[in-house]
Structure 1
Amino acid sequence: MGALMSVTPEETEPSPHWPMPPTDGYTADDLDRLPNLPPHTELIDGSLVFVSPQSLFHTRAVDFFKAQIEAAAPPDLEVIREFTIDIDRQNRPEPDVIVVRGDVVEDPEQTRFPADTVQLAVEVVSPESLSRDRETKPLKYARAGIKHYWRVESNQGRAVAYVFELEPATGAYTPIGIFHERLKVADPFPLDLDLTAIKPRR
């Protein structure tokens, strides 16, 4: 008979440990307090949302919009990628790109901005974020008073931008246009973007 081998605790695979949510859900402040959260964790309706690995299209699109918007933005505005915003106690989403007032960019250690300082929120859609980016987040961004919202989707590797503006009378977004090759708008400041630049390289 072969000898029995003992397994020490150090040799066993550790069980994943997920924090138990409070009865009334997590709060915006909890994102800064909970240990070992994955990067880019969001808070939606008191629940933690973990981001799946992103596609190459997603990465290139976020890079493109961040760089192009930053190049055209007035000096009193900052363009920042993948940064959380405070909507309310139970909602702290992380748009892919935001345009925010420069006066609230105060501290290199800060982890969020007030939603009412955001001029534009851009979401690049992934398969796992489709319903959030089309339905959940626009409702919350509109409620927070963010005047401009862009949703960017891939159509066979080519970018399509859906542009929305806040209607003050209803407090909801109204569609401005669907842009396939060129995105040209006057607000929140003049922008003329060649969306074909995001197509996959060969």
Structure 2
Amino acid sequence: MTGLPDWMRPPRAEGWFAEDLDHLPEAPRHTELIDGALVFMMSPQRSWHGRLVTGLTMAFMAQAPAGVEVEREMTIRLDSRNRPEPDLLLTTAPYDADRTWFAPEDVQLVVEVVSPESAHRDRTVKLRKYAEAGIRHYWCIEDEDTAPVVHVYELDEPTGAYAPAGIFRGTLRRPVPFEISLDLDGLAPPRTT
């Protein structure tokens, strides 16, 4: 068995910190930090996943009001030990070509498209962590025979936890974080036989 490359060894006994991600050029492209541990997105993404994220990106860009930016695959610095990388986020932070992460208070909506390798993190770990960080809206999108099903959550301020706000198939209309109308079935092509 070969040893780990030096860049995979935590720089301190406590593990990794959020700022360490910016100093790991050898790390795989989609590397997250969850509770001080590096999480690598090593399995290849399905075409459905990529097309769905692209379709959502284009739809959000067409509907977002001035002052709202659409970003793909950028980390959110939730705290010193957590920098997850959602598939998509909507932010009020101005565009900065050198930015590598966003602060939770600048994020209006986080979207995760569930993959087999990310299912547990997307459905439970990130659901809790995004809520604890105060991100007001979270969408978790599941694959139902290649049709996207969007599980929408809103932050319940008194409890600091997400409350389910609906499950959407076919179409989605939401008044928050801004007026959004989506043809879900048109975002990713159906399975061909």
- Corresponding pairs, count: 187
User: Could you tell me whether the CA contact under 8 Å between 2:156 and 2:163 is conserved in 1?
Assistant: yes
**Whole-Å separation in 2 of the counterparts to 1:141 and 1:129:** 15
Q: Which runs of 5+ in 2 are unaligned?
A: none
One-letter identity of the residue aligned with 2:113 = V
Q: How far is the alpha carbon of 1:15 from its aligned partner?
A: 6.7
Counterpart residue number, 1:128 = 117
Counterpart residue number, 1:115 = 104
**Whole-Å separation in 2 of the counterparts to 1:102 and 1:36:** 28
One-letter identity of the residue aligned with 1:27 = F
Counterpart residue number, 1:29 = 19
SS across alignment from 1:170: coil
Counterpart residue number, 2:68 = 77
- State TM-score, norm by structure 2: 0.92
User: Could you tell me whether the CA contact under 8 Å between 2:146 and 2:191 is conserved in 1?
Assistant: no
Q: Which runs of 5+ in 1 are unaligned?
A: 1-13
Give aligned-pair identity as a percent. 48
One-letter identity of the residue aligned with 1:80 = E
Kindly name which structure, 1 or 2, has the bigger radius of gyration based on alpha carbons. 1
Out of 113, 116, 134, which is 1:145 matched to?
134
**Whole-Å separation in 2 of the counterparts to 1:98 and 1:35:** 23
One-letter identity of the residue aligned with 1:17 = P
**Whole-Å separation in 2 of the counterparts to 1:96 and 1:35:** 20
One-letter identity of the residue aligned with 2:100 = T
Following TM superposition, the consecutive aligned residue runs of length 4 or more in structure 1 with deviations greater than 4 angstroms are none
**Whole-Å separation in 2 of the counterparts to 1:81 and 1:133:** 16
**Whole-Å separation in 1 of the counterparts to 2:139 and 2:33:** 20
Out of 5, 30, 36, which is 1:17 matched to?
5
| Worse overlay, 93-102 or 19-28 | 19-28
1:52-91 alignment to 2 at 5 Å? 52-91=43-82
Counterpart residue number, 1:7 = none
Q: How far is the alpha carbon of 1:201 from its aligned partner?
A: 6.2
SS across alignment from 2:126: helix
User: Could you tell me whether the CA contact under 8 Å between 1:159 and 1:199 is conserved in 2?
Assistant: no
Out of 175, 183, 187, which is 2:176 matched to?
187
Counterpart residue number, 1:172 = 161
Q: How far is the alpha carbon of 1:200 from its aligned partner?
A: 2.9
User: Could you tell me whether the CA contact under 8 Å between 2:114 and 2:140 is conserved in 1?
Assistant: yes
**Whole-Å separation in 1 of the counterparts to 2:144 and 2:19:** 37
**Whole-Å separation in 2 of the counterparts to 1:95 and 1:87:** 12
SS across alignment from 2:117: helix
**Whole-Å separation in 2 of the counterparts to 1:15 and 1:200:** 44
| Worse overlay, 136-145 or 15-24 | 15-24
